[in-house]
Amino acid sequence: MPLNDAEANWTPLARLWVLHPGAGLQQPPWVWWTSAWLHGSAAHLWGNLGGLALLAWMGHAVRVDRGCAIVWTLCWPLAQLGLLWQPELPRYIGLSGVLHAGLTVVALHTLFGRARPLPRWLGGALMLGLVAKVLMENPGAPGLIPSPGWAITVAPWVHLCGVVAAATLMCLWRLGATLRKHRLGAGAHRTLI
């Protein structure tokens, strides 16, 4: 059911799943995940499902690993949590923050040289394009941007939150992997006297 009309007209389940940024942490914990599955119009739903299919294909093509899956899973609520800095939004629904996080994971996985046989520059180009797209949306501007073709309004702030959450966690995950590798390597060179 498209949710582009008044919230009072929504089904009880949809009202239970929606995220209200102004309510802060005083709402059920599941809304940080479930709000991503609600969509304002059929075009919004199909657009995000298409984005999800494209992201799955890209992830398969670059051979994302378990670490990427863990990072993306952690980004799911973190992208939505960023909406706490936009309490003036009456509600938030949609998958776009999570999709931006997933694309960031794919780009950085490639940039870090983990996506063989693809060249690293491809990940850098994808990341640069993603950052340019997010900045052109002016995510710091208050309010929502109308998207007449999709019959919804867009919250560009959540796009930025998805990118920042994924980039931060990917860098931390990569740093942790590097430290573990060095620690294991150092242990192999020790000799007992």
First and final CA of the chain: distance in angstroms?
71
Residues in a beta bridge with 154: 145
SS3 of residue 188 by DSSP: helix
pLDDT at 1: 45
Per-residue pLDDT tens digits for 117-148: 788 899 999 999 999 999 999 998 877 787 87
Query: Which parts of the chain register pLDDT below 50?
Result: 1, 191-193
**How far is Cα 40 from Cα 115, in angstroms, rounded to an integer?**
35
